[in-house]
Amino acid sequence: MTTVAVIPGDGIGPEVVGPALDVLDALGLGVRTDVLDHVNARTYLRTGTAMTGDDLDRVRRSGATLLGAVGDPRLSGTGYVRGVLTTLRVELDVYVNYRPARLWHDRLSPLRDAARRAIDCVIVRENTEGLYSGIGGGSRTGTPHEIAIDVDLNTRQGVSRVLEFAFSVARRSVCLVDKANAVRNGGQLWQRCWSEAVARYPHVETSHLYVDTAAMRLATDPAAFDVIVTSNSYGDILSDLAAALAGGIGMAASANLNPVTGQGLFEPVHGSAPDIAGTGTANPFGAILSVALLAEHLGRAEEADAVRRAVAAAVAAGRVTADLGGSLSTGEAGRAVLAELRQPAGRARTRQRDHRPKRAG
């Protein structure tokens, strides 16, 4: 039996993980859950430890991990968040951050032009290197001559493998986004690896945009993109922009993947949202759609599609939380998806984008 590790985390994390686990249970995948509900800010405040070695071993032994959110306003600095997120991403070597963006209903789009707003794309973000590698330092802190340095780390292995993944999931095209004209060393490495990848996939349409141009194009014509592949920091920004164009951050799901080892970490991207924690108004759809990605990762594509159709039906019926223009609570919105999932049509065999990564070998 496959084990799914669950880290509810902080803020609205436990609130949205509850409905997501209800959906996971309703799918009948035959999995068991291992809930690490002590991995949170309360434990960190008490012990100074974000995750223990035993916690990490439990995650490693699982077939997949579902994460709610981490972050707490009582904590200053990034030690706790990095102690959970960076530890998981680096120790599991989940080098792909996979962020699908699909417009679930026309009314959710901030764009006026209906022909251009039908976004259905994926941001493939390098997940373990770049500016978020944690390499750097500073000196003369607090003085007029203070210096702060953050290193933008890029390796041939890291760049090549994320490009390979991007091509493996493309339906029609892949667009490389960088800033090679200004960030020359890392940019040239990305460009060399890109040329090699393009040569291996002659049947896939390819393009290249600098990140500022890509942001403008994404905001004005998001339907033009299929797969965008980019670095850690650029992908962080562009994926949130894509989420806003597709109905808001509350709908955004993500997968952190290592297609070679099969490790997968799945999470909504809205964060812990302490301003609404405990109000019962958090949108659970990002967590539920992350469960769809998790199911796909476990080889259950039909069940994943059923979840997406159930979410789409709930959105179309207006059975949503306030951020999407509705009046339902977190639990009520989750139950609306469950009700749709249990309809016979919810199991219809119609396929959407196949999110499953191809594994090496």
Q: Catalytic positions, please?
A: 132, 179, 212, 236, 240
- Provide φ and ψ at 336, rounded to 5°: -65, -40
The DSSP element (H or E) to which 215 belongs, if any, is: helix 211-220
- Contact between 330 and 15 under an 8 Å Cβ cutoff? The reply is yes
Sheet strands (E) in 202-281: 205-210, 227-230, 253-257, 264-268
* Kind plus residue range of the DSSP H or E element containing 219: helix 211-220
Q: What is the rounded distance in angstroms from the CA atom of residue 297 to the CA atom of residue 359?
A: 11
Q: Are 67 and 35 in contact (CB under 8 A)?
A: no
Gyration radius (Cα) of the chain, Å: 20
Mapping DSSP to helix (H, G, I), strand (E, B) and coil, where does residue 346 land?
Answer: helix
Q: Are β-strands 173-178 and 205-210 bridged in parallel, bridged antiparallel, or unpaired? A: parallel
Beta bridge partners of 174: 206, 227
Task: Sort residue 270 into left (φ over 0), alpha (ψ -120 to 50) or beta.
Answer: alpha
Bridge partners of 102, per DSSP, are 120
- Which positions ≥6 away from 77 have C-beta within 8 Å? none
Q: Are 286 and 16 in contact (CB under 8 A)?
A: yes
Reduce the DSSP state of residue 209 to 3 states and report it: strand
